[in-house]
Structure 1
Amino acid sequence: MPSFDPVQTNFSAGEVSPTVLGNFELEKYKQGSQRLDNFICKAQGGVERRGGFKYVAEVKDSAKTTILQEFRYKNEFFYILEFGDLYIRFYTSRAQIISGTPVEVATPYAHTEVTDLRFAQDEDSLYIVHINHPPMQLTRTSDTVWSLEYFKGTFAYDYEWIGRSASQANAWMGICWSPKLNLFVAVSEGGTNRVMTSPDGITWTNRTAAAAVGWA
């Protein structure tokens, strides 16, 4: 019995459902495929091979967990960030960024924690959060200059934080306490965000009376 192999040039329907395979009268049937491996369907009808993989560099320590995170700035600068055990390394243009040695920023995240990191980017800053650590802000200045610091929270732009040693002159409006981090934050009623924090590891003393405490 003769066989017939039709020429198909349109794959805009992609892979079709098995329930469509017998419905040859449908237009989607004529524009689809039962299976496509390693191809990307184009809206114009054709297909192209998917991008391949290139070995760029080995991670700092292959024996420990490492993750990769995208960093894109103004659709002009594209980076891949390597988060490993207490460090970040950087890649761009299919190569590791090196300035004598691989450019690296120290982090507080152990390799057992990196898979639980969550990210949000705004312009040239990447905000990083983890349940065991305060929020961090990673900032790009150039390909070889990156900085990581604790995120200071919401306050007026370029507001300068002033260290305080006493609270008598402040009318504190609210106090938040974190039993996990042993920290408290108190906010005043002033026009600016005057904030006082306790030293790390402060010890709280139980009280049985509130008569002598002027709670706001």
Structure 2
Amino acid sequence: MARVHPFQTNFTAGELTPKLAGQVDFKKYNNGVEEMQNMTVFPQGGATRRYGSRFVAEVKDSSKSTRIIPFEFNITQSYILELGDQYIRFYKDNGQITNTPKTITGITQANPAVVTVSSHGYSNGDDVWINSVVGMTQVNGRRFRIANVTTNTFELQGVNSTGYTAYASAGTAADVFEIASPFTESQLYEIAFTQSADVMYLVHEDVAPRKLSRTGHTSWTMTEVDFKRGPYLDQNTTSTTMTPSGTSGSVTITASSSTFVATDVGRLIKFNSGHAKITNFSSATQVTATTTDNFSGTGGTADWSLGTFTSTKGFPKSVSFFEQRLIFAGTTTFPQTIKAAGYADNSNGTRVMSLAFSSPNPNL
């Protein structure tokens, strides 16, 4: 009897567990396979060989862990972010983003090679790409770490150019574009992130939430998220009162009993119809704060609340967008609590409201 091989045109169910073998009544059975290696399935149903990879550049320090994450504004403005030990580098269009190239006027045939670039502004340890050199073409299209920097020259670390063709003319040098980051090597793979247009939010339970903004290929900034009106812990239920020295600007807040700790710097506090951010710790009963919404008066009150996100209580380790709201969740002290931002406030300092609720899911 001839063997029959069915013609399969759809693979969108992917690989099926062996436990489903022979389960022809399973809806996805006819769109699944037993094993699929090095293939990419299209949403339309077909499949093709997976795309290959290409070496673009070495990370800043190969001896340390590094993480790459996507940043996609649209199909023509997509980036790869290299997150390393307290830095971020950027890639686009199969290349590493650099600062504006500067003109090379000379490269020596020496060990190490010395490059002349007038008033380059580089520093020891910078990574520099060299291109378009006439004569000494062996250096073109390569990235070098530089050392022994002077005002107009720098050495190519570890490069012996004595056997290279003599430099004739032209050429450019461009240092790698990089910004500072608060995240250390040990924290990289615990960072959660979410993106909306040109803004990405990154969180880690030991670091205050960060906002990464893009305004151009070489114009990226990372700032601490500026919470203005929350989120807050539950309202005080003790007899302790808070008294401000003024109603606006920089004020001294005095508690009637020990309340504050040194890690409260940067924490929000609200009472007397106002909001403020603590800027200095003086003692367990006194701090300095800057108002974000003025207090209604200078009288003492037991009706106050302290901010949720702080080194004292921990920071969120999950972040996402849901129906135009920016959502934070999972602090160290309150792992099942979710905080939601007010509508349309996400890009303007992030006025996160105390719309908190507890979830029965411990993973949130």
Aligned to 1:120: 194
Instruction: Choose between structure 1 and 2 for higher RCO, CA contacts under 8 A separated by at least 6 residues.
Output: 2
Q: d(CA) in 2 for partners of 1:59 and 1:21?
A: 44
Does the residue aligned with 1:8 lie in a helix, a strand or coil? coil
Q: 1:169 aligns with which of 246, 258, 263?
A: 246
Residue aligning to 1:214 = 300
| CA–CA separation in structure 2 for the residues paired with 1:178 and 1:116 | 29
* 1:159-192 per-position Cα deviation (integer Å, ceiling 9, x unaligned): xxxxxxx9423299xx9x77472324333545xx
CA distance 1:65–1:3, shift in 2 (3 Å): same
SS in 2 for 1:40: strand
1:182 aligns with 2:268: no
Aligned CA distance change for structure 1 residues 129 and 178 (closer, same or farther; 3 Å): farther
Task: Report percent identity of matched pairs.
Answer: 28
Change (3 A) 1:180 1:56: farther
- SS for the counterpart of 1:10 is coil
Q: How many Å apart are 1:63 and its aligned residue?
A: 0.8
Where does residue 226 of structure 2 map in the other structure? 152
Quick one: distance in 1 between partners of 2:188 and 2:39?
Answer: 32
1:62 aligns with 2:62: yes
Please state how far the C-alpha of 1:92 moved relative to its aligned partner.
1.3
* Shift, 1:36, TM fit: 1.8
Matches of 2:222 and 2:41, distance apart in 1: 40
Q: Secondary structure at the match of 1:113?
A: helix
Aligned Cα root-mean-square deviation (Å): 3.6
Q: 2:184 aligns with which of 93, 110, 114?
A: 110
What letter matches 1:169 in structure 2? G
Further displaced range: 35-44 or 178-187: 178-187
Q: Does structure 1 conserve the Cα–Cα contact (< 8 Å) formed by 2:211 and 2:224?
A: yes
Task: Measure the CA separation in 2 of the matches of 1:95 and 1:62.
Answer: 18
The alignment status of 1:8 with 2:7, answered yes or no, reads yes
Evaluate the alpha carbon distance shift between residue 115 and residue 42 of structure 1 in structure 2; reply closer, same or farther with a 3 A threshold.
closer
In structure 1, C-alpha distance between the alignment counterparts of 2:25 and 2:190, rounded to whole Å: 49
Does the CA contact (< 8 Å) of 1:72 and 1:78 recur in 2?
yes
Q: Against the structure 1 CA distance between its residues 105 and 38, is the aligned structure 2 distance closer, same or farther, given a 3 Å change threshold?
A: same
Q: Deviations over 1:35-70 (max 9, x none)?
A: 221123345553211222221111101111111111
What is the match of residue 283 of structure 2? 204
Q: Which residue of 2 aligns with 1:162?
A: none
**1:19/1:215 CA distance change after superposition, 3 Å:** closer
Residue identity matched to 2:193 = F
- Is 1:41 aligned to 2:41, yes or no? yes
Residue 104 (structure 1) shift: 0.3
CA contact (8 A) 1:86 1:106 kept: yes
Q: Which residue of 1 aligns with 2:335?
A: none
Which of 135, 145, 150 lines up with 2:209 in the alignment? 135
Per the alignment, do residues 108 and 14 of structure 1 end up closer, same or farther by CA in structure 2, a change over 3 Å counting? closer
| Structure 1 unmatched runs, 5+ | 156-165, 208-212
Cα gap change, 1:139 to 1:188, in 2 (>3 Å): same
Q: Are residue 73 (structure 1) and residue 73 (structure 2) matched?
A: yes
What is the deviation of 1:75? 4.4
Q: CA deviation at 1:8?
A: 3.2
Q: TM-score, normalised by structure 2?
A: 0.45
Q: Secondary structure of the residue that 1:112 maps to in structure 2?
A: helix
Counting matched residue pairs gives: 194
- Partner residue in 1 for 2:289: none
How far apart are the structure 1 equivalents of 2:228 and 2:300? 28
Q: 1:210 — aligned with what?
A: none
Q: How far off is 1:132 after superposition?
A: 2.2
Long gaps (5+) in structure 2? 100-173, 230-242, 287-298, 303-364
* Deviation (angstroms), 1:124: 0.9
Match in the other structure for 1:163: none
